[in-house]
Structure 1
């Protein structure tokens, strides 16, 4: 399928270079989005117009959503997300991004006391089975976190796992928050293994197992994740914009 003319914009808040859009990047390009990365650690988040972009994506990172005393930019990031939510414009949060959305909506984010790192399928709620996440089927997705969010009062829980019951939630059609990494490209797993080497060693994670699982999923996972995220984008692109141009 040929790419559509680029008429839409996507702002992507990134915390680590290798935790990027992954397999979501070509999907957005094919759907006609001009993508601009904003580096949360370097750029002035307070200067961004929260309503300007057609889509905002907040990616993951190895810090806590409640760590603004240590990493002050998180305060500006929370404000940006709160303002985006107030505009009711499309917002996708992944891992840390989802935790920040939960905080912005008044929910708690807390440590689990353990790590959930590896590939495993989601268990969808009845609402999740009616959501874009149904396109995942039983395909395992990448989990990589030690914190979890509560489900905000205004949100609908969509999925969980045995280790973490809160894996995804939505608010209307315009907000999707994912604790798991649907965007992660299994063929790029080595970047994650090197970038998070200390965390993996401390958690006693078997790198060989992660490599084997990633290789087995190098075709099925991008295909399933692409279908799920495409279905979500279809919904937000056909919903009239609120609170912004």
Structure 2
């Protein structure tokens, strides 16, 4: 449910080639750590090096921009409002709202009414079909019930100091029971807040598969989020020169 990203970077000479380290360093900021939000730092029982500290940080995937860390708070979230049609849209809104409230205990979040102003947009629809190229014969289209993607962009509010930022898009379909819908919203929002990977343990929200009894946020989920927000990232920092 985290298939990839669209990065707004200058193209390399060949479209089949990935940007080189030199190109990345030229067009993206140097990785630096941000100050961890107080709400996330609060309640940490042990240091990461302690035998009592448990997480799955080793499963998190850095991106071309580094770890997907938010540095401007509160993070603004838009989700589609309920409609008057009898399509269970109110159940969907209830599930998304509950997931936002759970994560809000650790990272400052706020709901906005206009998608263009949001850092994270959550849409009540089935994700776009993906091509599964792992098939042995020919690529196959693979359907998902939920999916999260990110894209990079440059904030030019201050022309002489453009900032590299990111946005998240979540597609969350409605073809699930209320409990599973809320679990999916909780899981996808975890990706959008920076957990770009999956836990190998079924008692964690960010476990890679759906379970019979969806768990609440675990200490391992929060410990992993804390580790992520201690890492350097290119996001939230000024690029070395304006992009043309």
TM-score over 0.5 (shorter chain) = no
Query: Is the radius of gyration larger for structure 1 or structure 2?
Result: 2
Length-normalised TM-score, structure 2? 0.28
Work out which structure has the larger RCO, using CA pairs closer than 8 Å and 6 or more positions apart in sequence. Answer: 2
Length-normalised TM-score, structure 1? 0.28
